[in-house]
Amino acid sequence: MGKNKPSSSSRQKAKTASDSKAKLGDPATDNRNLERNIVQNAADWLPQAFPKALRPFFHGPALEVMRCVYKDKVQLYLMMKKFINEAKDGASRVHMIIFKPVPLNVIQNDMVWDYNIAPHCRFTYLEDQQTLFLNIATETRMIEHFPKSELNFDDTDMGVQGHALGRFKYGLKKQLSAMGIVDNRWEFACAKSRHGLGLIHDKKDNVPYKAIHTADRMFIPGIIRHPKYDANNQPWPTMVIECCNSCTNLASRLYLECSVDWWFSQSEGFTKVVMLMMFDYDRRGTVVEKWICAPKAPYTKRLAQTILIDVTRGENGKPTVTIDGEDLVLDFESLMARPKREGESDIVFDKALMNGFGNGHLMTWPNLGKGRKQNLKRSGIDLTTARKLLDYPLSTLQQHLGPALEKVEKAAKAVGADADVQASRMTLTLTRNKVDKGKGKEKEGELASGEDRIPVDITIGEALAIMAEKEGVEEEK
């Protein structure tokens, strides 16, 4: 074998991403590939292998759900790109996507996942079943996943949902601060996950339910000795907020109700309240539900309150927000996980505060609709190596990938270990031609030969996935 000739396994790994990219440009080929990866026969998925609450996802065509066979990261990213765009553009009612069998490392410590999937979806990953449930959000907020320093604007409260969640936090902060409980003594965490221990409380349903689950918001009180931790030693929240696009979307609705069960059972009742917020963007309505947990095992859920928020025409013909329901009350002791002290009381959202849960329907938002892509581009996301890769010709990455893979495998073989290809890093120099702006002058820092070169340090796993992502960038140009 020649010195620089990649091994057959190296060539195969590099070819996976390259072939996926080559096929993406042909719509007919894309559709055939998608059809081959979509499961038509629910029996192939053995519903009895899943917890009872999740089995409806594998029965009957009424649910707006897509079941897909997982092959590799590149395939998942390409398929999810299609599903996400269709859902966010309003071209499809399918917001629930299920992949199996998915390795755990797909969702952990992966930069491409963080940029391409996490801002668009909330997910549940079942470890024993190796199954990934993805619930596509109508809105996208990058601030929930990247530092403010990487954005030109703060999109925390953007969108109908974002605005409602922002008003929810405002109501909490205002009332807790009035009691002397400042916000460094509690956390209102955005898009975080918890890792359940797979606890089983129902003897009639003993299927393993060990899962990682993300929520839109979770309230975590500042307790010196927190009594309940998840599998990753993270504290369980006392309250969780889960959102979806509409209460009429059966799959999304079922997913939220399953989520309520999961929070209550896996925290062993430490999570006392789960708020469900469902936004109907077409009819401009919001449904808010408050679910509470039974005090003892099996920690069953109970719907305690429903609030309907709509946009109607007032007497002057102008749109106005109307609220059908009583004030939303959050029990202080359930929220803070301790008894009340003097001057402390329950949190009350009156109709004036709850108006903020629905008046986002009256506004225009840059993270909604078909114009969202350009708006998000202007947000100035700087993922350093990822963005650099996407700005340079794909061939400059491909030509380094084979030798890098061979080098990793040789190094691993020398010490008698298996090659960790996904985590192994590669250093390369990307090259592109300068952009001629007609002035006949070279920019400072560019080479006189007419090329712009930049060193990049990146993992091989990131490189493989970004090769596929680059196709999406080139399509938009």
Residues near 308 by Cβ (< 8 Å), separated by ≥ 6? Answer: 285, 286, 287, 323, 324, 325
Q: pLDDT band at 19, cuts 50/70/90? A: very low
Mean pLDDT within 17-46: 44
pLDDT for 377 beyond 70: no
Under a CB-based contact definition with an 8 Å cutoff, are residues 103 and 132 in contact? Answer: no
Among 80-94, 343-357, 384-398, name the one with the lowest average pLDDT: 384-398
Higher pLDDT among residues 451 and 336, named by residue: 336
State yes or no: pLDDT of 45 exceeds 70. Answer: yes
Residue 235 has pLDDT above 50, yes or no: yes
- Residue 409: pLDDT band by 50, 70, 90 thresholds? low
- Return the minimum-mean-pLDDT range out of 63-67, 154-158, 258-262, 467-471: 467-471
Report, as an integer, the average pLDDT of 229-253.
92
What is the structure's pLDDT at 407? 58
Residue 73 confidence (pLDDT): 86
Residue with tokens 């975080």: 192
The identity of residue 416, as a single letter, is: G
Summarize pLDDT for 293-327 with one digit per residue, the tens.
999 999 999 999 999 999 998 778 888 999 999 99
Residue 285: how many CB atoms within 10 A of its CB? 20
463 or 283, higher pLDDT: 283
Domain annotation for the chain: domains and CATH numbers: 1-13+384-436+446-477 (no CATH), 38-138 (3.30.1370), 159-364 (3.90.1570)
Choice between 176 and 22, residue whose per-residue pLDDT is larger: 176
Beta bridge mates, 321: 311
pLDDT confidence of residue 424: 55
Average pLDDT over residues 262-270: 96
Cβ–Cβ < 8 Å for 125, 212: yes
Strand partners, 308: 287, 324
Q: How confident is the model at residue 400 (pLDDT cuts 50, 70, 90)?
A: low
| Mean pLDDT (whole number) for 399-428 | 53
Strands 131-136 and 239-244: unpaired
Q: Identify the pLDDT of residue 36.
A: 47
The 3-state DSSP class for residue 199 equals coil
Give the pLDDT confidence score for residue 340 in this predicted structure.
Answer: 95
Least confident of 28-42, 78-92, 244-258: 28-42
Torsion of the alpha carbons at 162, 165, 170 and 172, rounded to the nearest 10: -170
pLDDT over 60 at 452, yes or no: no
pLDDT tens profile 188-203: 999 899 999 999 887 7
Of all residues in the chain, what percent carry a pLDDT higher than 70?
66
What does the mean pLDDT of the chain come to? 77
Q: What is the pLDDT of residues 140-162, one digit of tens each?
A: 887 787 776 666 667 788 899 99
Nearest-5° angle of CA 445, CA 447, CA 450? 130
Residue 458 pLDDT more than 60? no
What residue type is assigned to position 288 of the chain?
V
Gyration radius from the chain CA atoms: 25
Q: How far is residue 384's CA from residue 351's CA, in Å, rounded to a whole number?
A: 45
Grade residue 170 by pLDDT with cuts at 50, 70 and 90.
very high
What is the DSSP pairing of strand 193-195 with strand 186-190? unpaired
Confidence of residue 49 (pLDDT cuts 50, 70, 90): confident
Distance CA 50, CA 207 (A): 6
